Structure 1
Amino acid sequence: MGILKYIAPKWAYKRQAYRQAYELSRNYDAGTFDRQNRNWRAHNESAELTDRDYRDVIRARSRDLERNSDLMNAQIHPWTRNVVGKGFELEAMSDDQIFNDEIEKLWRKWCKKDNCDVTGSQSFWEMARMAVRRKRVDGGILFIKCYTPGGVTPFKLQALEVDELDTVHIAPKYEGNKVVGGIEYNSYNFAVGYWVREYDIQGYLRADSRFIERKNIIFYFSKDRPSQIREMPEMASTLTRIKEVNGYIEAATIKERIAACLSVFIKNMLPAPIVGRNPADGKPRDYKELKLSPGMVTQLNQGDEVEVVNPGTSATNGNEFIKTMSRIISAGQGVSYEATSRDLTQANYSSARQATIEDEETFIPEQQKLKDEFLDEAYETFVISAVLSGAVECPDFWKRKDEYLAHKWNRKPKKWIDPQKEANANKTALATGQKTLPVLWAEDGRDYKEVMDEMKKVQDYAKEIGLKSDLVYLTGGEDNAGQQKI
């Protein structure tokens, strides 16, 4: 209170009392407008009002970094690599095994680019990887269900970018609905269809947009707020930091390039010769075309000196800065630094295994979303198209539709970090009943029926040629005495 307590004790007491009351009433530091938070102004608005004015700008900047930034692509690749990878193995699970075998065989054929893509340029799993990538960069992607001649079934997919939603269209197709951001909603905010711009093959916009029913389109994006109706690039929160690191790397690169340069200046100690008077040999020396080269020998004019300019390199080491920023960016995207940088120099088995487990917990929800909203939708439409077109015979399909559509997706797991430890862990889990053989084979991306059929073929062939082995699955547990042992 300083000198105030001596001059006006009453006012000093009141000032102290009010100060203490103010400190007690400050429940949240983040809610104050003191010196540290003075310029922190934020407002509560619906998700669409918050996103609408910035969506296109952020998407354009995200695509720019996708094209020009190594660090940006380092954040994208782990998602496409771990969520989709080489793809999933379909396992049909109806009670009709003949139908299962036929539909699985037909599905593998349909996944080729000439059968699944209306443009014939991407296989199904390439489209799935593109969907994950566009969701990270653009916020989402659209797939239109098309039915065209050719291919194993009429059903095909057409991929569209979210830019093709007609955001200026406001007239609904059905009375009582409303159109927001190119999507038509009913009174319950349920999307009933999408207004899509028409472009020609060169990318020029046509006048009218067309309406596509919800059942004929797949809009793959994530919803983070109840009031959100459109996508937002999932890299939005880290774009500025990635741009800062790119700027730092560019500046450091220029600095190192300058530091690597060696140049010389010629210092003239004597004034220029008087007009009409030349040096002793009669020819003044000009250094304009002279360049440094290894082992060069030359002469200087009388009185000239050479001054070497060597900028040298700075002692500043940017490695730690880039590594720290990369860790922050990776953490902001929910993945480990090792997954994005591929830097495992400081990782041992335990830390690598723990990082892998945590990354899997991040990728599994995205993987499940891809299955629910894209893979399942595409597969079920494919089966219906195959039945209607006669590609597969199933007389009672419509009576038992849900049973015939039952399926699951198997995917090969990641490679083992330590095969011996992983194999011992699986052996223990199998012996203690924590896992079954079908579960282990499913984790390996294989159908247990196919594995057992393959084992049976191996057993039969081993018995046919009289081969004896210590491997139980080769002998089927029988005594093969007298047979040739390998």
Structure 2
Amino acid sequence: MNWRQRLGAFIGGFDAGQHHRRLRGFRATRAHVNALIAAAGPDITARARWLVRNNGYAVNAVESWAANTVGDGIKPISKIGDAGSKEELQRLWLAWTDEADAEELTDFYGLQRRAAREVFIAGEVFFRIRMRRTSDGLTVPLQLQMLPSEMLPLEQSGIAANGNAIRQGIEFDRIGRRVAYHFLRRHPGDSTDPELSGETVRVPSSEVIHIIDPVEGGQLRGVSKLAPAIVKLFLLDQYDDAELDRKKVAAMYAMFVTSPAPENPLAPAEDDEMPDGVEISPGQIVRLDPGEDVTVGQPADSGGTYEPFQYRTLLQISAALGIPYPYLANDMVKGNFSNSRLALIEFRRRVSAWQHAVMVFQLCRPVYARWMDAAVLSGALTLPRYEANRARLLTADWLPTKWDWVDPLKDANAEIAQIEAGLKSRTQAIAERGYDAEQVDREIAAERERERTLGLDFRRPGSPAQGVQMVSDANEDPEEDTPSETDDRDDAEDRPRPDEDQT
């Protein structure tokens, strides 16, 4: 026992800092997370990828995370004030998103989804910004190349030729800024291209986007979100396989024939004396030799412990991954409406925080800035005084895919009540659904005009939209709807007087 332990035992205070019998085997490392990732990172990532390829719960968790964090894509709505410039910019961006992937496998929003999967599995992912020639025929001469975590070797550390420090494949200058990444030319596990094995290339940090969700201060590289659950997922998979094998044996009608002991038990049995087994068919009468006995195999059953054990283990895995149990196990039976709603709200808060702190800040904004620079420099986009007003012109709202309502009618009525009470604006409500309020208003106005031209009205009677239209019609032609004084006199003359005969 060193002096720290003796002092802690003497002073007391925090149980968690004691070294008595209950915590004698609890030896926590004091190594920094960078040292731990350098030692165990490759094995963790390899095991996480193996589970995603072979374990149903793991792949379900990854797909659920990607679908909820990205969905159809986190899309920008420019804050440029000029309506014409804004519409031109949005149209150009939409055209470029189909050309964003250097591998031509998906669009920009598909790259977002792939990035979300990679960060969940490996803890990080890299994108290299590839500037293209004008002759390549792209809408904007810019593409993105996704590089997995294994492309930046963790073991590469030392001093570069220029005197900069290289730590886990990342080059830092003398004041600690990232200046370059030393990538492998090919994936270390891809043996289909042996010519480039082990070769590295230095890429300036201005051309690299590193997406990572750090868990500790000073962390350089990512760690898989599956790390806290890898052991339980693997052991639970083995346990399930054992249960399946036991059920398979139990489903077989196995019989064992016991014969009397031979006269010389040490003598080897002749081939014709070896039992071939007893095969039976329905209604068959089997006669055994004198002294032989038949025993039917009866494997032990798992009883009523299998389901509770599975449920509790999956709850622990769910907590470790941050994925609600119904999303992990596709089990919607055990949760009622209220509990499911509470779990969904908590999950959405976590997802929303991750969307804006990681995906938007680390990927969407840098790509948007480089795209706009390339669009203006190539002449694909015209924005007067761009260099002087660049910061203002780059502002945009990044809108994730809208959340599906748990109870659509109640949720919609609650939102309408909030808008009517002034607690939120229509612009905010529309933005939360992932749409641009100005574009929605233009579409609504165009539909209203088309309905008036064709004599149609698809609005629900008594809806606020119908009331607005009635007020608008009244303002357009007030003389037609307001009765004149002559009409009032005519109506008064037509009305019968009290003393006149009504017969």
Same fold per superposition (TM over 0.5): yes
Partner of 2:287: 300
Alignment correspondent of 1:79: 65
Give the direction of change, closer, same or farther, for the CA distance of 1:227–1:396 in structure 2 (3 Å limit).
Answer: closer
Deviation at 1:146, TM superposition (A): 0.3
**Cα distance in 2 for residues equivalent to 1:150 and 1:43:** 55
Say yes or no: does 1:160 pair with 2:144: no
Q: Which residue of 2 aligns with 1:228?
A: 219
Contact 1:463 1:475 in 2 (8 A): no
What is the letter of the counterpart of residue 195 of structure 1?
H
State the alpha-carbon separation in 1 of the partners of residues 198 and 351 from structure 2: 41
Is 1:195 aligned to 2:182, yes or no?
A: yes
Q: Write the distance in 1 (CA, Å) between the matches of 2:155 and 2:21.
A: 43
Q: Deviations over 1:262-314 (max 9, x none)?
A: 11234557989xxxxxxxxxxx9997386445x25365355465443233533
Residues 407-418 of structure 1 aligned to structure 2 (within 5 Å)? 407-418=396-407
- 2: distance between equivalents of 1:188 and 1:65? 40
Aligned pair in 2 of structure 1 residues 467, 127: CA closer, same or farther (>3 Å)?
closer
After the TM superposition, which of the residue ranges 374-383 and 308-317 deviates more from structure 2?
308-317
Secondary structure, counterpart of 2:409 in structure 1: helix
Q: Distance in 1 between matches of 2:79 and 2:453?
A: 33
Aligned pairs (5 A) from 1:149-188: 149-170=136-157, 172=159, 175-188=162-175
- Equivalent residue in structure 1 for 2:431, among 442, 453, 461: 442
TM-score by length of 2: 0.81
Pair 1:229–1:314, CA change in 2 (3 A): closer
Q: Choose which of 310, 318, 327 in structure 1 pairs with 2:315.
A: 327
Aligned residue in 1 for 2:352: 364
Alpha-carbon distance change, 215 to 313 in structure 1, aligned in 2, over 3 angstroms = same
Q: 1:175 is aligned with what amino acid?
A: N
**2:84 pairs with 98, 108, 127, which one?**
98
**1:68 Cα deviation after fit:** 1.5
| Aligned residues of 1:195 and 1:210 also touching (Cα < 8 A) | yes
Superposition pairs for residues 18-417 of structure 1, below 5 Å? 25-112=11-98, 115-148=99-132, 149-170=136-157, 172=159, 175-199=162-186, 202-204=192-194, 205-268=196-259, 288=276, 291-293=279-281, 295=282, 297=284, 299-300=286-287, 302-303=289-290, 306-311=294-299, 313-368=301-356, 369-417=358-406
Distance 1:260 1:333 in 2: 36
Q: Is the 8 A contact 1:145 1:217 kept in 2?
A: yes
> Are 2:450 and 1:464 equivalent residues in the alignment?
no
Match of 1:16? none
Work out whether 1:473 is the aligned partner of 2:465.
yes
Change (3 A) 1:22 1:63: closer
Work out the CA distance in 1 between the residues paired with 2:120 and 2:443. Answer: 40
SS in 2 for 1:116: coil
> Which whole-Å CA distance do the structure 1 matches of 2:413 and 2:338 have between them?
16
Q: Aligned equivalents of 1:30 and 1:271: distance in 2? A: 67
* 1:261 and 1:310 in contact (8 A); partners too: no
| Change beyond 3 A, Cα 1:361–1:459 | same
Secondary structure of the structure 2 residue equivalent to 1:442: helix
Q: Distance in 2 between matches of 1:390 and 1:104?
A: 16
State the 1:394 CA deviation.
Answer: 2.4
Map Cα deviations across residues 141-184 of structure 1 (whole Å, 9 max, x no partner): 11000022232221000011121114454565563420111100
Q: Where does residue 433 of structure 1 map in the other structure?
A: 422
User: 1:316: Cα distance to partner?
Assistant: 4.0
- SS of the equivalent of 1:199 reads coil
Per the alignment, in what secondary structure is the counterpart of residue 470 of structure 2?
coil
Show the counterpart of 1:13.
none
1 CA distance for matches of 2:79 and 2:63? 32
What is the identity, as a one-letter code, of the residue corresponding to 1:250?
D
Look up the match of 2:440: 451
What is the CA-CA distance between 1:428 and the residue it aligns to? 1.4
User: Retained in 2: the 8 A contact 1:95–1:403?
Assistant: no
Is the Cα contact below 8 Å between 1:78 and 1:339 reproduced in 2? yes
Aligned-partner residue type, residue 424 of structure 2: K
Q: Which amino acid aligns with 1:239?
A: I
Residue 348 of structure 1 aligns with an amino acid whose one-letter code is N
CA distance in 2, matches of 1:302, 1:245: 46
Q: Is the 8 A contact 1:262 1:310 kept in 2?
A: no
Tell me how large the CA RMSD over aligned residues is: 2.8
Distance 2:366 2:199 in 1: 28
1:450, distance to aligned residue in structure 2 (A): 1.6
Kindly tell me: are residues 267 and 48 of structure 1, through their superposed partners in 2, closer, same or farther at Cα, counting changes over 3 Å? closer
Structure 1, unmatched stretches of 5+, are 1-20, 273-283, 482-486
* Counterpart code for 2:170: I
SS at match of 1:239: helix
Partner Cα separation in structure 2 for residue 45 and residue 270 of structure 1: 65
The answer to which of 238-247 and 212-221 deviates more is: 238-247
TM-superposed CA distance for 1:29, in Å, is 2.0
For residues 286 and 46 of structure 1, do their structure 2 counterparts lie closer, same or farther at Cα, with a shift above 3 Å needed?
closer
In 2, the alpha carbon distance for the partners of 1:178 and 1:237 equals: 31
102 and 287 in structure 1: CA distance in 2 versus 1, 3 angstrom threshold:
farther
